[in-house]
Chain A
Amino acid sequence: MKVFVEGVGIVGPGLNGWQASQPVLAGAAPYIDASVVIPPGDLLPPAERRRTGLPVKVSLAVGLEAIANAQRNAAELPAIFASSAGDGENMHCIFEMLANNGREVSPTRFHNSVHNAPSGYWSIATKSMEPSTSLACYDESFVAGLIEAATQTLASGNAVVLIAYDATYPLPLHAARPISATFGVALVLAGNKTNRSLAELEIGISRKSNASTSVANAELEAMRIGTPAARSLPLLAALAALSSEKTRTQDRIYFDYIAGNQLDVVVRPC
């Protein structure tokens, strides 16, 4: 499958937007660990914003950033949300309510508990009535999202936005599922090369024969291993390197995938 990247959005510890993160990911500037900062301006009405948790805020921020970078209209793009974890903080609160006498579950907590809560808030914020899906594939959720996004844009001929996110779980869930960082990434993908295209991705699934591609910086590598959405980091590093080193012709990235498979992505400049 061949698709074209038109825009990127990113939020993570020490990673504040695509423009600021590119030199860090390309190895031209040092990585400095810092708390996650969510940029303002998510388009949600205030009453809705008050009800949202961190995963919604992260996914809206990266999605809108990628679409702005691609100079696209969010209302026209199908959206694919990929997350291993959903909103652990919200689920923790529900589980505590259910373990107590009375079992009074808050209606807002309940409607926020669905895995597609970010998708629902996204469509409200962007007024997009386009299809939107929300999927999960444990540690390989970003890879599954990339596959779904590529097949959607190829099937429909429309550009799509892929939004992958995960947020750390609170204790005691964290002990059972130790996601290491809150991280979000978005890619606007299209099936055709246009003047918006930043890079070409040639994507294929094959039986596993290569180790997954790592990132050079040790702290970012720990984030990649510990956070499903951050499995995207080698791809983001390749995109950053391609835009800073004009002589580079291509990068090849291997992602671990499920059931003894790997995802093989060749990244070429446009």
Chain B
Amino acid sequence: MQPLRLSAFTLASPLGAGVPATLDALLKGRSGLQRCDFLDVDLDTYVGRVSGLEDLPVRADLAAYDCRNNRLAQLGLAQDNFTEAVAAARQRYGRERIGVFLGTSTSGILDTELAYRHRDPKTGALPESFNYAGSHSCYSVADFVQRVLDLAGPAMVVSTACSSSAKVFGSAARMIQAGLCDAAIVGGVDSLCLTTLYGFNSLGLVSSRPCRPFDTERDGISIGEAAGFVLLEKTSALMNSPLAVPDAVMLLGVGESSDAYHMSSPHPEGAGARLAIQAALQAAGLTPGDIDYINLHGTGTKANDAAEDKAVFSTFGGNTPCSSTKGATGHLLGAAGVTEAIISALCIQHGFMPGGLNTEHIDPTLKSAYLLKNKQQTLNFVLSNSLGFGGSNCSLVFGRMLKRAER
């Protein structure tokens, strides 16, 4: 595929708001997980909660979009001079020529969950204040972000559970290739709600400790929330301009597949994940040996980690360093793909591989080269996996432009 430059990116996650806070936490091995204190949730678990959202309503002219998910989107957009970078792109291309493609799994349904506690005792009606289009609607966050950034190109939400904000990179690449836009805002936003906390708990997939991906004793996920955004641009438009950055991080490949196996359990051999990895490598024009580091999906459930390990080991063998950053961030669901894409870009920019947190004893039945400690090393090519409910798999390859030209 035609490489696309990550011209700007930003995120707000349990590790903090903005890239500097995120980088600092990753380099110091600090986790953003804490004992669950979200609303009146009575589960024995840890969550990755972004603090302060309760006091950060969306800006007044977009009050119709006020909900936890869009507040989190607004917080993310406000970091890292991202809106300034988008404003400059708007000048270059025009507001109609920049797309907005975002992932979410639960959108603003927290509002609906709380509205159901206040139904009219006689009619069953929801409170008058309930606003479907601005909160619950699956499209709400892309609509909101498009307005915040004053853009008017194609937009949509991709909602494929935990692969959502990885798959948007593929949609954006195809839209740009088809000439429907020149640049795109891709990303994802997912916020804590009762459906995911109690739902994953009903499946026995929520750990009572901070999640321990790849550990012998791993027993489930820690749910988190985050917003992450990337400005993707064609390189051809930038190559000969003052904006050209020879060593910029590029999106080089996207691979997607389906498990065709089960709604909530991964294919036991990781067959779908392996197809996605191979398709991403092929799209990037790279071989497994080119990949320096793999940011795993690594949720910390027994079945997910075992399946992903098989997919990774069968493709790369046991020498390519890999780790999951979910011990730091928690499982960010529809925002996991973009958060881990941004972490992958930071690893390339700053030359390090983050060790997986909370894991004490690596499961001896897992054969991949799982890192427990941070390691400094120049990285040219990084692969990131996102694997979701419904057997939805997506792998992304990031790398340096010049290094790829040498291949």
A interface residues (Cβ-Cβ under 8 A, vs B): 1, 51, 83-86, 91, 94-99, 103-107, 109-117, 119-121, 123-124, 126-138, 141, 144, 147-148, 150-152, 154-155, 171-173, 175-177, 205, 207, 257-261
Interchain CB contact under 8 A, B177 and A151:
yes
List, in ascending order, chain B residues with CB within 8 A of A127's CB. 260
Assembled-state Cα–Cα distance A127/B133 (Å): 35
Sort A-B residue pairs by CB-CB distance and give the 3 closest, nearest first.
A120-B390, A110-B199, A115-B159
Interchain CB contact under 8 A, A115 and B138:
yes
Binary A-proximity of B148-162 (CB < 8 A = 1, otherwise 0)? 000111111111110
Binary A-proximity of B112-140 (CB < 8 A = 1, otherwise 0)? 11001101000111100011110011110
A262 to B: closest C-beta gap in Å: 12
Assembled-state Cα–Cα distance A175/B256 (Å): 37
Nearest chain-A residue to B267 (Cβ)? A129
Nearest chain-B residue to A86 (Cβ)? B138
Question: Which of A107, A134, A261 is within 8 Å of B264, CB to CB?
Answer: A107
List, in ascending order, chain A residues with CB within 8 A of B199's CB. 94, 105, 107, 109-111, 113
List, in ascending order, chain B residues with CB within 8 A of A131's CB. 170, 256-258
Interchain CB contact under 8 A, A172 and B156:
no
A-B contact pairs, 17 of them (CB 8 A): A95-B112, A98-B195, A111-B389, A113-B199, A114-B159, A115-B105, A116-B161, A120-B390, A128-B258, A132-B256, A133-B170, A144-B156, A148-B156, A151-B174, A259-B151, A259-B155, A261-B96
Interchain CB contact under 8 A, B390 and A123:
yes
Interchain CB contact under 8 A, B159 and A136:
yes
B132 to A: closest C-beta gap in Å: 4
Question: Which of B142, B167, B391 is within 8 Å of A123, CB to CB?
Answer: B391
Interchain CB contact under 8 A, B194 and A258:
no
Interchain CB contact under 8 A, A98 and B194:
yes
List, in ascending order, chain A residues with CB within 8 A of B132's CB. 173, 176-177
**Is there a chain A Cβ closer than 8 Å to B405's Cβ?**
no
B272 to A: closest C-beta gap in Å: 6
List, in ascending order, chain A residues with CB within 8 A of B198's CB. 97-98, 103-105, 110
Interface size on B, residues (CB 8 A): 69
B141 to A: closest C-beta gap in Å: 10
B interface residues (Cβ-Cβ under 8 A, vs A): 42, 96, 105, 109, 112-113, 116-117, 119, 123-126, 130-133, 136-139, 142-143, 146, 151-161, 167, 170-171, 173-175, 177-178, 180, 194-195, 198-203, 256-264, 271-272, 275, 388-392
List, in ascending order, chain A residues with CB within 8 A of B392's CB. 116, 119-120, 132, 134
Assembled-state Cα–Cα distance A172/B388 (Å): 30
List, in ascending order, chain B residues with CB within 8 A of A136's CB. 137-139, 156-157, 159
Interchain CB contact under 8 A, B158 and A133:
yes
Nearest chain-B residue to A88 (Cβ)? B136
List, in ascending order, chain A residues with CB within 8 A of B109's CB. 91
Assembled-state Cα–Cα distance A116/B104 (Å): 11
B321 to A: closest C-beta gap in Å: 28
Nearest chain-B residue to A178 (Cβ)? B132
Interchain CB contact under 8 A, A261 and B152:
yes
Most buried by A among B123, B159, B161, B258: B258
Nearest chain-B residue to A258 (Cβ)? B155
B192 to A: closest C-beta gap in Å: 13
Assembled-state Cα–Cα distance A126/B263 (Å): 14
Nearest chain-A residue to B264 (Cβ)? A111
